[in-house]
Amino acid sequence: MSATLSPSSPTPATTPKHGTVRNFIGGAWLSGDGGLLDVHAPATGAVIARSPLSTPAAVDAAVRAATTALPAWRATPIKERVQILFRYRALLERHVDELTALIVEEHGKVDAEARAEILKAIELTEFACALPQLATGEVLEVSKGVECRTERHPVGVVASVVPFNFPSMVPHWTIPNAIALGNCMLLKPSELVPLSAGRIADLLTEAGLPAGVFNVVHGAREVVEAICDHPGIDAITFVGSTRVAKEVYRRGTSNLKRVLALGGAKNHLIVMPDAEPEMTSSNVAASMSGCSGQRCMAASVMVAVGGTDAIVSRVVEHARRLVPGETLGPVISRAAKERIERYITEAEQAGARVLLDGRGVTVPGHEDGFYVGPTVIDGVTPDMRIAQDEVFGPVLAIVRAPSLDRALEIEAASPFGNAAAVFTERGATARYVAERATAGMIGVNVGVPVPREPFGFGGWGESSFGVGDITGRGSIEFWTKTKKTTTKWNREAGTNWMS
């Protein structure tokens, strides 16, 4: 979803507040080796930093640093490795205000959303601290005197490519678990929000992480392609749009790497006429507008079954109370604002009714910010583009369905499969939807059904390519390979067909 890149040409006279961002390779801060991209604060439109568009040479340098660090790091017992993460977790807590402010500035989230992101990063780190209890091996006497044991080994040098919408949380989906399990990592942040990654590197270093275990290479497509192609990288996780997830999955696996690539989403929330009106409407409004709709778990389509007009009115009322610039942040870029507004106009032209219109919103004092107001559109039909594409803005499309089965058909027609939810007071209806919805994460009276640790996060269909989930217990499989050792010490055991 990133805007088309155009490296900034002549360096303007003024240096932006955060200067030029640097790569972090082998424990050293290094200047990028390619062009530069202006980083805009979405709330004001001002240039606050320059992001390096690194080249494959920077990827190669990071892989060499990680490869050098790997033997000592993987030989460090896991209980010692996680001591660094315990210290890192304490540093995240100590710096929560500063880290929150950085996300507010580079991404545009409102304070509460940015703070929640850091709190989630802390929770993800806590899970990694518990890995010595969870990632143990197994042992069994498989025949008389013969023992089989499995133990987990790191995959090796790994890369994590992340999107713009969570500058800190999504990197924490992978960093703590991968390094706790003994891997050395290269992180490729989004070029639109490069600042938080620098603080992650600072704090990991302060916590005592050895040089080369964690590296950051900034850039865009060229860096990601170099990651997919580099023979020294063993595994890649990607989180971003479906179009790029497919490219990374195809290219990475064709180079024989282990790849898990999470893509975009189009989450359907099915609202039944018996749903509790206040809980439902507040949940739906919060899901569609939180982080300005720029969450892969955001409510995008509300499928209203039967007589739900009273709930629809309440959703509009909740959404109307949001104040851009105060309780609703901007979207990431001018291009995103224009794209989202185009979707609204196109739906209106196709015959949908805009109940609440967020087009053309300006915030006093922040006239150049990239704001889109909360938008609710009724009478959307499944054939409209707004019902099919990921809009990634604070926009809710309401599709009316005559029956629950028709609602489920509409949900199933989407190629995405990240999340789905049902709002009802009947347990049997909830169960019916939970069994049939074609998504990896299901909410029952929950608008943002993110599974929290130790449960894994991951969708189905075009929302995820590869095996397993990116967080929780599932991630242990991804970041390790098992070694199986069969042992016999007692000579009397003799031999049999299996040993």
In whole angstroms, the minimum distance from the beta carbon of 159 to ligand NAD comes to 11
Out of 37, 66, 146, 220, which residue is the one contacting ligand NAD (CB under 6 A)?
Answer: 220
376 counts as binding ligand NAD under rule CB under 6 A: no
41 counts as binding ligand NAD under rule CB under 6 A: no
Out of 89, 188, 230, 366, which residue is the one contacting ligand NAD (CB under 6 A)?
Answer: 188
In whole angstroms, the minimum distance from the beta carbon of 168 to ligand NAD comes to 12
- Please identify which of the residues 129, 184, 291, 296 carries the catalytic annotation: 296
Q: Which residues 265-294 are close enough to bind ligand NAD by CB under 6 A?
A: 265
165 counts as binding ligand NAD under rule CB under 6 A: yes
299 counts as binding ligand NAD under rule CB under 6 A: no
In whole angstroms, the minimum distance from the beta carbon of 334 to ligand NAD comes to 14
Out of 209, 239, 311, 401, which residue is the one contacting ligand NAD (CB under 6 A)?
Answer: 239
164 counts as binding ligand NAD under rule CB under 6 A: yes
42 counts as binding ligand NAD under rule CB under 6 A: no
Cβ-contact 70, 113 below 8 angstroms: no
Out of 52, 459, 472, 474, which residue is the one contacting ligand NAD (CB under 6 A)?
Answer: 459
Q: Which of these segments, 42-50, 142-150, 199-207, 237-245, binds ligand NAD (CB under 6 A)?
A: 237-245
Cβ-contact 360, 367 below 8 angstroms: no
Out of 79, 94, 221, 484, which residue is the one contacting ligand NAD (CB under 6 A)?
Answer: 221
Q: In the annotation, is 148 catalytic?
A: no
333 counts as binding ligand NAD under rule CB under 6 A: no
Q: Which of these segments, 73-81, 162-170, 271-279, 313-321, binds ligand NAD (CB under 6 A)?
A: 162-170
241 counts as binding ligand NAD under rule CB under 6 A: yes
Out of 110, 259, 296, 328, which residue is the one contacting ligand NAD (CB under 6 A)?
Answer: 296
In whole angstroms, the minimum distance from the beta carbon of 462 to ligand NAD comes to 10
418 counts as binding ligand NAD under rule CB under 6 A: yes
Cβ-contact 51, 218 below 8 angstroms: yes
Q: Which of these segments, 203-211, 233-241, 358-366, 484-492, binds ligand NAD (CB under 6 A)?
A: 233-241
Give the interface with ligand NAD as residue ranges (CB under 6 A).
1-2, 161-165, 170, 188, 190-191, 220-221, 224-225, 239-241, 244, 247, 262-265, 296, 390, 392, 418, 459, 463
- Mind telling me the catalytic residues? 296
